[in-house]
Amino acid sequence: MKVIIGSDHGGFNLKSAIIQHLEDKGIDVKDVGPFDTDSVDYPDYAKPVAEAVQNSEYDRGILVCGTGIGMNIAANKHKGIRAALVHDTFSAHATREHNNSNILCMGERVIGTGLALDIVDIWLETEFEGGRHERRIEKIEQ
């Protein structure tokens, strides 16, 4: 699976932890930045991640800011993107099974690193259920 990740300054530390975690598991991750904690604007990093998932260059995207909210709003402006703001493991399962979410958004200022990494693992490993959920996603696209 090809994964692309981005953050702003508020999500930089959690982004770094996620990249390390995924690389330790042998999953290659493309990092669009930022590469330090200088203040930046989250839409500038949501855009390249959303576009790369939108055009199927990458299978899944992960976006981290202080709350995850700005990244979530920005990513969902892109057609074909189903970005999910997730801070618990139940929702990590459910949004993959029901929404086929293709971008995961989290807030570094909201949850601890341990929970965030569990959420990443669950979200990457859980399959979409299809069936009635496919019809609902199609209605969103329309």
Check if the beta carbon of residue 8 is closer than 8 Å to that of residue 66: yes
Given the rule CB under 6 A, which of 12-20, 43-51, 63-71, 89-97 is the region that contacts ligand RB5? 63-71
C-alpha–C-alpha distance, residues 134 and 142, integer Å: 12
Beta carbon of residue 75, minimum distance to ligand RB5 (angstroms, whole number)? 12
The reply on whether position 110 binds ligand RB5 by CB under 6 A is: no
C-alpha–C-alpha distance, residues 118 and 113, integer Å: 9
The reply on whether position 76 binds ligand RB5 by CB under 6 A is: no
Give the residue numbers annotated as catalytic, written as ranges: 65, 98
Given the rule CB under 6 A, which of 19-27, 60-68, 97-105, 127-135 is the region that contacts ligand RB5? 60-68
Closest to 4 measured CA to CA, from 72, 62, 66? 62
Note the residue count of the chain.
142
Q: DSSP strand E in 1-122: where?
A: 3-7, 29-31, 60-65, 83-85, 103-107
Kindly tell me which of 36 and 141 has the beta carbon lying closer to ligand RB5.
36
The reply on whether position 70 binds ligand RB5 by CB under 6 A is: yes
Kindly tell me which of 69 and 111 has the beta carbon lying closer to ligand RB5.
69
Binding region for ligand RB5 (CB under 6 A): 8, 10, 42, 65-67, 69-70
